[in-house]
Amino acid sequence: MNDITAAILVIGDEILSGRTKDKNIGYIADCLTNVGVYLSEVRIVPDKEEKIIQALDSLRNEYKYVLTTGGIGPTHDDITADCVAKAFGVEISENKEAIDMLLERIPLEDLNESRRRMARIPHGATLIENSVSKAPGFNIGNVFVMAGVPSVMQAMLDVVITRMETGQKLLSCNIHTNIKEGDLAEILRDIQKETTSVIIGSYPYYNESGYGANVVCRGKNIDDIKSVATIIKEKLSNIGNVEIGEII
């Protein structure tokens, strides 16, 4: 449905061990959907050079864009920038412009070897400013390298979006029902067979007030969505309550 594809590569032992719960994937997913970029795959890998490079090469060859999070801080386990340089076969060294950015926040006397690591940037990369903590991310080829701390990642993502080709937003209409998924599945399957421009999904819910399923219609054409939503409402109204939400 969409030619502008992207993947996320989350880098960090702390996510895989469960110590840190990822908050970036869902945020980036919302953001990409809003600008018409189709998030097509996500991978989470540990802080291991071989794994990072392997995943990065696989994703950057398959999708239009790759956004990475994590591993660009000052400590010994922050190896993302070096891995990206290796994957692209370029040198990496201290970047003057990145040092200047760090100096906006860090006094010169505190700019020790570890902090200088955050200014090591692969050759040929363009910096991604970071309004929160100043240490920049960077992009090289079709890869955007961002921090893992959510507030910093979010500041970088605002910049990244301006550098991507964006598409037509995928519109979405939520149809709330109190119908069990097993009772609407056949009806939806038949409706889906008649349309390719609208993708119909169904998501069961269980909460204190009972259970049912939300039906979601997604597509680029608002009239097609309206038409499919109307058909769904017609067919389902015999078996339960059906409320068509706004198309957003």
Which positions lie near a copy of itself, rule CB under 8 A? 10, 13-22, 25-26, 29-33, 38-46, 51, 73-77, 106, 110, 112-115, 117-118, 149, 151, 170, 172, 181-186, 188-189, 192, 199-204, 206, 216, 218
Q: Which two tokens stand for residue 166?
A: 């964006």
CB of 124 to a copy of itself, least distance (A): 26
Nearer to a copy of itself, 84 or 184 (CB): 184
CB of 12 to a copy of itself, least distance (A): 9
CB of 231 to a copy of itself, least distance (A): 15
CB atoms near residue 4 (< 10 Å): 18
Instruction: Find residue 246's DSSP bridge partners.
Output: none
- Given a contact cutoff of 8 angstroms between Cβ atoms, the answer to whether 140 and 84 are in contact is yes
User: Considering just the CA atoms, what is the radius of gyration of the chain in Å?
Assistant: 22
CB atoms near residue 159 (< 10 Å): 18
Nearer to a copy of itself, 42 or 90 (CB): 42
**Distances, alpha carbon 16 to alpha carbons 13, 21, 51, in Å:** 5, 9, 13
SS3 178: coil
Nearer to a copy of itself, 77 or 224 (CB): 77
Nearer to a copy of itself, 90 or 247 (CB): 247
Nearer to a copy of itself, 45 or 140 (CB): 45
CB of 50 to a copy of itself, least distance (A): 12
DSSP per-residue string spanning 190-225: HHHHT-SSSEEEEEEEEETTEEEEEEEEEES-HHHH
CB of 117 to a copy of itself, least distance (A): 7
Q: Which two tokens stand for residue 120?
A: 């090591």
